[in-house]
Structure 1
């Protein structure tokens, strides 16, 4: 299988999730060939993934490389993994007859652009590109059941929509003792990440658990300091901000934490999502504190008896924050099973 990961280094979280797909194909005994730019290939090699690469310098060079790979393969149709609607269009129009096109749909991008206030003509163009990719692809990989149902309902796809959630590269580090009532947030400080709401909830938790702590892991240090200033927490000794590098450092940190925040506003973008942050938390035994309507995850937690799903108007009480590291680890094993991912790819390739 060929993986088009051109320019993926610009989104490390998406690249890490894509590498899970590459690993699944390799583990199933298949051959994975990555077509990418130098920066993305360097990232993949640093991650320790063993694969073959084709280096490309631009869009035209990439299309020429894909054409040559299809010709030399000896196959009637070569499986090709494409992960962005903008990249999908040229490949499908110019080389579609040579490939079995697998479109990895990570989100409803036009809706994301609308949420961020992009210009209407760019949103419309992306909507058309997404619609074409979903209808033209030989198989679609969605990141959640909610997303799969969304596209099935809107476009009445005849071919299958498969679900493979975004999986983390983190994992529990044995022997690390979790600090009681320790909370964390891992991520940026964009408005859609609801930092103000998180700090408001943490302040209410402090009222019933004065010794609780919050550690923020982010590269947006200045933005977070501004958020703390607005919340009147700039001088709080219970909150610290730090920066970590790589999955190993993050795993080490999360293995000592009880709770992790993942809050979002009600919106289509969040309703169909599969936040990698959720996977990072539960893979290290961290109990997520999440909003309603985040992909499949809010309902999954509620069905398993977690009381940390924050619905609108729900009172903040310390009894709702019961750390369940063993249950979180079990959930991670079930959601991100390598066997399930390999089985999905086997169905796609053989189907």
Structure 2
């Protein structure tokens, strides 16, 4: 296993890659160890006061392929990138999740704006003013005083298509996730969409890089279809960690074990011999029968932690209890973050 991570007491440079609820959940945990904007003294959670785990730089790389709901309507009307996943990450990293973030998450319930969130409209307006989606994201982040930078995976207006297990080709993320067939191969159009230079620089300078949790294809693999991103991760000297999902997901990963998740990622990122991960964080704690039954009604089951097959891929599994049970299953972002920071040091 190669070595990486920051020198003691200097703080980590962290890049978190993904999309959807999974990435915003992880960012809430990482945010605790990032100095507040304009702070004269670094902010740190008291529970971590004796550990060299302060994050000096946090960057989130977010997928931009959503074409449904408010994001899809804005994308169609204004020919802009979808702001939904980016907005959720901004709120997760905001200094005060209970003030401005409530405004950004407010969703109109009637009239012509029904279904739109204020945050999506705000980013759309800034995109129109600046003529640049990535710049609009940075300006919005400043207003929310986020503890980290947020980069769209690409500034190009990309769409997804997928080859399904029946041989059919389905276009558009919404249609792909609604399909009754399983994804065999995911493609991005145009296929040569470039990343932001700032994204490649953040990956190049990182001490810790994470991918996941999130929908295998539409939140994770989408980022790796952007030209240059998988190559930058493969070349990085950072500690690279895959955060595995808790449950399988309809048409994206039903029946796939933890190692097969990694294999699918590697196949789309340049082939099975591509080395993107040093570690895989995998939950092995039991899940309550109530939630198991709830997910079983959708055909979803806990992801099998086939540890020997993961090691055969050159990835070291890190197991433990990483789940939080509520109305739905989520990762416990405090436990995940603490484990990630210890790995990086």
TM range (shorter): 0.3 to 0.5
Larger Rg: 1
TM-score by length of 2: 0.34
Q: Which of the pair is proportionally richer in helix?
A: 1
